Each structure stands twice: as C-alpha cells, then as structure tokens.
Structure 1
Amino acid sequence: MHYSVFLSLVGLGGLARRAAAVPVESCNDITPPIVPGAIIRSVKSRIYRDHSVPAFTPTLLQNITHLNICEVNVTLSHWNEDDTVLVQTWLPLGNWNSRYLAVGGGAWAAGLGQFDLALPASQGYAVSSTNAGLSGNPIDPSDWALKPDGTVNYGLLKNFASRSVHDMAVVGKAVTSSFYKVPAKKAYFNGCSTGGRQGLAAAQQYPSDFDGILAGAPAIYWSEYVIAELWPQAVMKDANYYPSTCELDAFVSAAVESCDGKDGVTDGVITEPFTCEYDPFTLVGQRTECGKESIVISQIAASIVSKIWRGPTDSRGKSLWYGMPKGASLAELAAMKTVNGTTTGAPFFVADTWARNFVKTDPSFDTSQLDIAGFEKLFSQSRDRFGHIMDSSDPNLHPFKKGGGKVIIWHGLSDQLIYPQDSVRYFREVERNFKTKGKDEDLGNFIRLFLAPGVDHCGFGKSAGAVPTDPFGALLAWVEDEKTPHTLDAHTKADALTQFSRKICHYPSVAKYKGRGNTNDSKNYICAIP
C-alpha cells in the first residue's frame, strides 16, 4: 500500500538545486529538537559512505547504491504516554537540494525506514521516516493495538493516525537546519494509501508543516472504508458461495469489454467507471475457461458481484458506502481459501486486523464468519468510535491554503482496495466548505484531484491503465515555479498488455481522443468535461 516511484529519478533530476557540501563534523553536532508535547529521549547520528539499500517490493523498486549520508535517529516520548517514537532522517553529505521531504507509510506502518529514505536521499533530499512508536510490522498491528488490560491503545493509535506526522515534520526540519546550518527552502510530504491519509491529516491539522503534499489513493475515511472492505466477504458468507478468482475475473473482463470503447478508444481500460452500466447477470450461463476446466457462470456468482459493485447497504437497503468500481480486480477483497475441503472467505488483512483488534477488541474474532447483518453493526461501531481519530476528512483547508500550501491528490479509477469515490467525495466536500464560507474562489489554486483510468491501488499491481510517472515533480513545479498542473503525464507499466501514454486530467475533466493520430500517444488527447 505504498509506492515510491512518485520520486522518479528522471522526473526530479532537472528540478534539483544542489547546495555546497557540509563538513561531516556537523553530523556529530546535531542540536536536540524541541517537540511540543514530547520529551526527546535520544539523538544518535553517524556517517554512512558508499551505503547501499536493496530493493524492497513494492516500496523500493530498485537497488540504491553509493549513498553518502548523515543518519540522525531521534527518539521521543509523548507526555503521559508509554511510547517510544523513532524519527529517522537521512541527510545527503554533498548534494543536498535545499529541500526537506517527509515520507508516509503503508498499511499498518507509519513509515518503512531505509526503504522510504534511500531513493529520496539519492536524489538530494533531506528526508525523514517515522515508526510512530509502533512495531514496524505493516501487516499486523496486534503487537501494539491493545493494552495489557485488553483496551485499545489510543495513544499509539493517535500516533498512527496523525500525531507522528507532525512529530516527523518538526524533528526532521530541525535536524536538517542543525546539520546544514540553514533551514530547508521548502518542505514536502509524499505518501500513498496510509501515506496519503497521513498527508491530508497534516494539511488539515498541521497546516504549516509542509509547502506541498502529494497524497496518492488516500485512506481518507478510514473508519468506514476499512470495514467496507469486508462487504464482499459478508456477501459471500450470506450466499454460502465463494466464487473462484477465475469466475471473478470473468465478470471484470466482461465489464471492461462492455464499457471500454465508450471513450472512443478500445484500450482495455474503462475511462469512466462510475457511468459503466454493465449488468453482471448478462454473463449467467456463459462458459469461461479456468485453467484446464471450463465452468458455467452461475446466477449466484452474478448476484454476489452485483452486490459488491453496488456497495454495502443496511437492513433497509440504504447505501452505507461505495461499491467497488467496475474494472477493478475483485479477487483481493472477495478472496477465499479452502482448508481440508472446507471453503471460507479470506478477508483482506487490513480490514481483518482492524475489525478484530480495534472495533471488537477481540483478536480471536473471525471476520470470515461475518454476515450482512453483522456487517451493518460493525460498520457503525467503527465509524462512531474511531472516525474522529482515524479519518482525515476535515474539509476545512483554509489555514493550509492561507499559508500557501499546495496539495495534489491522485487516485486510480481501478483501485480495488480504497475506492476512488472516496477522493471524489472529499474533493467535493472541500468545494462545499469554501462556498459555504463565502469563499467563491478557484480551488485549483491550491488543491487538484487527478483520477487515473485503469490504475489499481497506488499503481503497484497489474494496472492496465497509464500510471502517473512523476506527480511529485508536478507538485514541485507548482510550489516552486507556480506552474499549475492541468495534467499529469502517465504511461502504462512494462507488463501491461497494451503500451500507451496518456495525460491524466485534473478532475472533473477526462482525457478524450481527438479523433485522429495514434491512440497510444498522449499528445492525441485533450481534456474535456464529460
């Protein structure tokens, strides 16, 4: 749930402004930072020369070598909290570009240390990551979620939600100034998924921390969307039927085939999934090849897919949350497993561990046995108990805008984990907030939303669509050169069946083919309101 290609080696090279080298002795003379509400426990620093960090999929997609850095590790504890938070900062010795960057985490990790730091440091950034005082395990929060008495550890949850991002900004910028003897000219945040949520939390709660924020596929409405990830499991449980991945893929392929060409180009991508009206029941009775066997699509499988696409509802049929966008893979959230001949659901790990450890405070709670009736109750419990802590959905960005901040949100329209409707909803709520307060102004001066057709969660899966190649570079150009981003350059991944480039237009515009020229070339597309 994290993607580091945002900091592309090519995209940022031309924007870098190199500073003179600093004496390495400065690494041994870091002034302890002052963090409001916290006690600094230690400041430890050391020089690394010709340092290497191995690739770590999906966070770091390449080996990083020949790093010359000063590493500063600051540990702190919050008043009246039993926590020990690490903020790790890497400071380039000879090629600092005068910028500070904080990097967000993924899944259950507030940050991933060296795997977050290596690429930005190689590009000249003073860069920080934090563990928020957590275990560092991105898969399972059970080591820290509950106190010994079985109650939620709200202190650490607050760290994970937002507080650690501010700590990181305060510590990282102070350490940077201490080492280079001058403050960074600009401060940025970059993250996707959990990291995207952290970035928006910073804009809302700590508006002066960053000049620019890139928030990819942000988990804005955490308390609701995470439980919504269990909806496919509840639907399958109620139906007592668990479609195979092959069956699910057949519905996705049929939806893409039905709605692909509506934009005038057949490229294996649904440009506007929210208007795709493909009916899954039209596939009933048809055969599909699944490995060495041929199966017939059943009515019950179509019913399950229909409910997943519609989204969670309560006992009266009222919508609780969004449905999965057509074209997105169904296999992750509608996963199943067979053990000793018995097939059950296999809930997605973030939703599963959230429900067990936090909402139910019962690590033994079995989310694979959750039915639709139980889902409604669980959804309400999560929202009511944790929305004020975990959600980064405050539409009041006036202080952030007043301080000159810029934010780019981007989201794949085939995101199978955090649905793009979440980002659209938040963007519209920001619009309404400004209009309600009599600020009838162009929000495009400080916030822009980009929706990428055919791109999955953070763009690190098998996306058929064109993934933004350097959205962070677009953010830098906006902040530093006042070049407002109207489009993001994008290209399909190397393993995509069809190779093409596209321009990702800022919402609500979409890319439309001009009607002439190579359909695989982005220059033959224009942005238009659908």
Structure 2
Amino acid sequence: MKITPSLFALILGLTSLTAFSQITTDKKTCTPCEQLKKVRLPDVTILEATSVSKDTIPGEEGWSPTVVIDRTFCRILGRISKEIKFELLLPADWNGRFLMAGNGGFAGSIQNDLIGRLNEGYAVVGTDTGHKDTGDGAAWALNNMERQLNFGSLAVHRTAEVSKALINSHYCEYPAYSYFLGCSRGGGQAMMEAQAYPEDFDGIVAGAPAHNWPALGAKFVQTSQHMYPDPDDLSKPNLTLDHLKLLQAHVLKQCDDLDGLEDSILNDPRDCIFDFATLPMCPGNAAGTDCFTQEQLAAIQSVYSPLMVDNQEIYPGFPFGLEGEDTAWDLWITGTSPYLEGNPSLHHMFGTNIFKYLVFNDPSWDYSQYDFKNFAQETAFASSFLDATQTNYSGLKDAKGKMILYHGWDDYAISAYATIQHYEKALLVDQELPSYIRLFMLPGVLHCAGGTGPDQVDWVKLISDWVENENAPERVVVSKFEGGNLTMTRPVYPYPKVTVYKGSGDSTEEKNFGVKQ
C-alpha cells in the first residue's frame, strides 16, 4: 500500500506549534556549527553540519501549516550505527531546552513536527527510527532484527543520548530540561521512554499511544476480516460511505443529547448504550444504501466489540461516535476515504503488515484465515520489543519525571479504551500516579486531531510548566480552529473527571462548562 503525503499527515497527527515561551538565556556557541562534523561520538557519523540563517518548511495542504524559521540555526544530519538517521536543529539563541518529536505509522523518514519551536529557542530533533520507508508498510522489517529493535525502542533512546552530547558540544552545556512529544506511534514511543528509559526526558507527552502493537494489529485483522472477507478482492469493503453516515445518524439520535447538548459530540461515549435493533435492516437481506444486511450489522458490531480469545480480552472495542466523519471509519476501517486512493483501509494495511513482518516474518501470511487461537504464544516475541505495556512507572517517579497522556474519544486508529485501561492498571500499582502522570480524554476528537470537538492544545507549554514550575495541569482548555478562526473552546480535566455543560450559555465557550461531581 502506497502512503501518500496527505495520508501520512493523517497517520502522524499534528502537534500545535503555538508559541508560548520567552527565550530567557543567550547561549554562546562553544563549538561552531560547521566544526560539529568533526565531533567523534561512539558509533555515530555526522553527515552534515550546516549553519542556516532562515528557512521555510512547506506544510501539507489541509493538514500542516507552512513553518517559517526566522532565526539562525545549525542543522546537523547524522547516522547512529548502520541506519538510524536523525536531524538535530540547534538555534543560535538557545533557551536551554531540548525537544524530541515522535514518529507516525511505521516511521521510515525523519519526522519533526516540532520544528516551529526553533523560533522559541528550543533545540529540536527527529529520527527515522533506523529504516527508510519504501511505501510498502513494514516490509523493511522482514527478517531484520536490528531494524525491529530500533523501531521498537532503541532508535529514540539512542537519538536522545546522541542529541544531548551534540548539544553539549555546541553550547558547552547540556539541556536544563528535555522533553518528548508524540502522537500515535509517537505516543507509543513516549510511553516506551517513560517505562524503559525514564531518565531520558524530564517531561513526556503521549497522545493516542500505539503501545501494544500485536494486540492492536489483531483488532485490525478482526475488523478487516469483516470489512474485506475476500482477500482476493479488496476493492469492495462491506460498508459504503452512505452506510457510515446512516450509522452515525442513528448513534447521534440515541446518544447525542445524553450530555445535555445536541452538538454531534459525545461527551463520554461510555454513556451511550446503543440499541442495534433500531438500525434499518435490508428486506430479504438484499444490499442497499439506506439499510444494513446481516453481514454488515455483524461487521459494525465487530468494531465496537472487544477481541476475545479464550474469554480473555486481547484488545477493547472502539467507542461510539463520529462514524461517518471524514478520516474516521472511512479511513481506518472501511477503506472508503479518498485519501486511500483505492487502497484498503488503514486497519487492513497496519494489521496485515504487523503480522507479516513483525510477528511471523512471512509476507504470504493470510489475514482472512487467522483464528487468533494461539495469539499469546505467537506474538510474545514481537511484544517483547514492541510493546510499552508495563504499568509500574516507579522509574519515572524516581527520576522526578512527568507525563501527560491524551486521547480523542472518537479515535478509530487506536481505541481510547486501551489507553484508559492502561492508566487504570497503572493506578492500581501506584495510587500516587496523578502526581506525575495524568490522562486527558478529548470528546469529539478523532486520531490525534480532527473531528467535531476541539483538538488543539499547547502540550509543550503544559508539560514544561508542570516540570519546571510544578504547575500540574488541573483544567486544560482545548481549542478548535476552522479556516484559521477560533470556533470553540472547552475544558478537559484529569481522568476520571468528566466535563459537563452547566446548562446555559454559549456551548462553544469553555466558561460555560464545569466538572462532573
């Protein structure tokens, strides 16, 4: 499956580039930029070290803005070991802080959606995690243990260490504070850092984290078996765009006003007890655009239902809401989005690639025949280097680190229930967890961003304020922009607190919402 630039932007998710921090120091260079190419670090090759006065990074139309860097910075392109490429950008007027950006999807290119923070004086870095994306999913991982381990955890950790060493070489000073931010795959990388390398970063933000890969891949395979029952014909998914719009209309009819507002936002989808019997069924089970066949109903129910093996939940179902929105089911589940350019869904692409190249190392593996019976045994090895599922965060606590988790309730790439379950398990291990890790659920938000709800937060500001000033986030105001204009603000509170409408006032203004008691 070829991943287009527009599609890749969707998979990756976007981090807000809103400026907030004043540059408080004027760091003088110790080793000039061009001379950094001569720096010798173990198993590291500096390929380029170039001083840049200004730069313009073009955005992806409709998804990411063009970023103008209006100051001088040093661009370092390097390689760690055989294949881990990274790009480190060091501003002339450094503020003493270091930011690392997470990846999206299967990575494979140097990704850095924090590059705009150069204008605030941050040193920023991104990595390709040790392989080049060929546009064919995870084929790069076939029988290549080094690439698999780099992708699993080592590339981010090693890039962080090398970046700090180069920062010290350039400024003769290590960062006062280091931060990691990522969504989707980047959210999983963030959790891996918090669990396996808790001293790498002082503050971590993990959005919609893909933290349990084989289990997530298994859920994707389950939905794909329903949506694409014939592996030889992937051109006709079981549900059309009309079906998705019809399904969403029925979900909203039953559940939209449960939170006191009819606004196409389910404030807490767990309150939605949907009656599937209300869906219009096709007479004689003959397919139609305004009704559902029995097979289509089964496919729909498979999305909301957890994947169970021997009465054990492997992966939770997805919450109700926004089924018919652009880049929701159409992109991830049914494969009817124009961004896919005729390819099957992202569930199909990610699910089959995870099992072909990261679990079985078998490109001929057939998703349609998989019965999940030996899932635990067959995926144990892949989970050992891919999963960030440890619930004991004592290492992060001892290092005095902080982490923010966030997840859109209507994410059909990674179930919000998976993140909630992980957080609740971690709470059982340490009741003091909210003193250093907090979770925020975003109503009406799709994967990383998008949807009917507000999705923009300056996570850098929040995490740095917590780390540097001990200001734990108690009430986070989330914003929605359309056409560059602010159209909505709402507060979210640390889980398990739930935002509620006060019953009067403009529902697009955060001041008219409180917290459920």
| TM-score, normalised via structure 1 length | 0.84
From 254, 276, 279, the equivalent of 1:280 is 276
Summarize deviations over 1:201-248 as a string: whole Å, max 9, x none: 111111111000011001111121122122211124559971212202
Q: CA deviation at 1:385?
A: 2.8
Alignment partner, residue 404 of structure 1: 400
* 8 Å CA contact retained: 2:33, 2:50: yes
- Gap change, CA 1:334 and 1:193, over 3 Å in 2: closer
From 14, 19, 25, the equivalent of 2:25 is 19
- What is the CA RMSD across the aligned residues, in angstroms? 2.9
Q: CA deviation at 1:487?
A: 2.1
Q: CA deviation at 1:32?
A: 3.4
Rounded Cα–Cα distance in structure 1 between residues aligned with 2:69 and 2:463: 26
Residue 314 of structure 2 aligns to a residue whose secondary structure is: coil
- Gap change, CA 1:85 and 1:345, over 3 Å in 2: closer
From 436, 441, 452, the equivalent of 1:451 is 441
Alignment partner, residue 512 of structure 1: 500
- Gap change, CA 1:407 and 1:174, over 3 Å in 2: same
From 183, 202, 210, the equivalent of 2:174 is 183
Q: How does 1:28-107 map to 2 (within 5 A)?
A: 28-30=34-36, 32=39, 34=41, 39-42=43-46, 44-56=48-60, 60-77=64-81, 83-93=82-92, 95-107=93-105
Alignment partner, residue 245 of structure 1: 241
Alignment partner, residue 471 of structure 1: 459
Alignment partner, residue 16 of structure 2: 6
Q: CA deviation at 1:348?
A: 3.3
Give the partner amino acid of 1:40: V
- Is there any run of 5+ residues in structure 1 with no aligned partner, and where? 78-82, 147-151, 288-292, 338-342, 435-439
Q: State whether structure 2 residue 190 is matched by structure 1 residue 195.
A: no
* 8 Å CA contact retained: 1:32, 1:43: no
- Gap change, CA 1:61 and 1:355, over 3 Å in 2: farther
From 119, 122, 126, the equivalent of 1:125 is 122
Rounded Cα–Cα distance in structure 2 between residues aligned with 1:25 and 1:320: 52
- Gap change, CA 1:69 and 1:344, over 3 Å in 2: closer
Rounded Cα–Cα distance in structure 2 between residues aligned with 1:486 and 1:345: 41
Q: CA deviation at 1:123?
A: 2.7
Q: How does 1:94-493 map to 2 (within 5 A)?
A: 95-109=93-107, 112-113=110-111, 115-116=112-113, 118-137=115-134, 140-142=137-139, 144-146=140-142, 152-237=143-228, 242-285=238-281, 295-314=290-309, 319-328=313-322, 329-336=328-335, 346=345, 347-367=347-367, 370-371=368-369, 374-377=370-373, 379-380=375-376, 383-434=379-430, 440=431, 442-459=432-449, 461=450, 463-493=451-481
Residue 47 of structure 1 aligns to a residue whose secondary structure is: strand
Rounded Cα–Cα distance in structure 2 between residues aligned with 1:495 and 1:300: 40
Q: Comparing 59-68 with 498-507, which one deviates more in the overlay?
A: 59-68
| TM-score, normalised via structure 2 length | 0.86
- Is there any run of 5+ residues in structure 2 with no aligned partner, and where? 1-10, 231-235, 323-327, 337-341
Give the partner amino acid of 1:76: I
Q: CA deviation at 1:98?
A: 1.3
* 8 Å CA contact retained: 2:240, 2:289: no
Q: State whether structure 2 residue 485 is matched by structure 1 residue 500.
A: no
* 8 Å CA contact retained: 1:32, 1:40: no
Alignment partner, residue 80 of structure 1: none
Q: CA deviation at 1:423?
A: 0.9
Residue 424 of structure 1 aligns to a residue whose secondary structure is: helix
Count of residues in Structure 1 that have an aligned counterpart in Structure 2: 487
* 8 Å CA contact retained: 1:232, 1:333: no
Alignment partner, residue 149 of structure 1: none
- Gap change, CA 1:139 and 1:525, over 3 Å in 2: farther
Alignment partner, residue 437 of structure 1: none
Rounded Cα–Cα distance in structure 2 between residues aligned with 1:97 and 1:139: 40
* 8 Å CA contact retained: 2:304, 2:319: yes
Q: CA deviation at 1:498?
A: 11
Q: CA deviation at 1:28?
A: 2.7
Percent identity of paired positions between Structure 1 and Structure 2: 25
Rounded Cα–Cα distance in structure 1 between residues aligned with 2:510 and 2:90: 38
Rounded Cα–Cα distance in structure 1 between residues aligned with 2:76 and 2:238: 50
